[in-house]
Amino acid sequence: KAGVTQTPRYLIKTRGQQVTLSCSPISGHRSVSWYQQTPGQGLQFLFEYFSETQRNKGNFPGRFSGRQFSNSRSEMNVSTLELGDSALYLCASSLVTGGTGELFFGEGSRLTVL
């Protein structure tokens, strides 16, 4: 069974640009959540989607957005990039929504903003 796949693995952007990251969950998983990981802040929750609906959102500005498609694949978008957006963006999928299900993480997309 294939794991969670995130693309691209690495990318470099400049300030002001926008970026789209993709996440393909484990087959059968309908919940996808996104996290930002930085050395100083640890893991910060961005948002969670379940059956194409955003179920929960973390404390990030509106420049961060996401969506989920009918096949459960998810994308997140960051517009008007800032230097502080440099981070590892992790996607996790789960069978169920709610804090009782095991999260399966992808290897992440490492974004560098210059």
Partner 1 sequence: GEDVEQSLFLSVREGDSSVINCTYTDSSSTYLYWYKQEPGAGLQLLTYIFSNMDMKQDQRLTVLLNKKDKHLSLRIADTQTGDSAIYFCAESMDSNYQLIWGAGTKLIIKP
* DSSP H or E stretch at residue 78: strand 74-78
Pair of tokens at residue 72: 């459960």
Q: Does 99 bind partner 1 (CB under 8 A)?
A: yes
Residue 36 within binding range of partner 1, rule CB under 8 A? no
> Is residue 58 part of the contact set for partner 1 (CB under 8 A)?
yes
Chain positions 67 to 96 lying near partner 1, rule: CB under 8 A, are: 90, 92
Quick check: 25 binds partner 1 (CB under 8 A)?
Answer: no
Phi and psi at residue 26, to the nearest 5°: -65, 140
Name the one residue in this structure whose structure tokens are 């996790």: 92
Is 53 a residue that touches partner 1 (CB under 8 A)? no
For residues 22 and 40, give the distance between their C-alpha atoms in angstroms, rounded to a whole number: 24
Positions that interact with partner 1 (CB under 8 A): 4, 33, 35, 41-45, 48, 55-56, 58, 90, 92, 97-100, 102-108
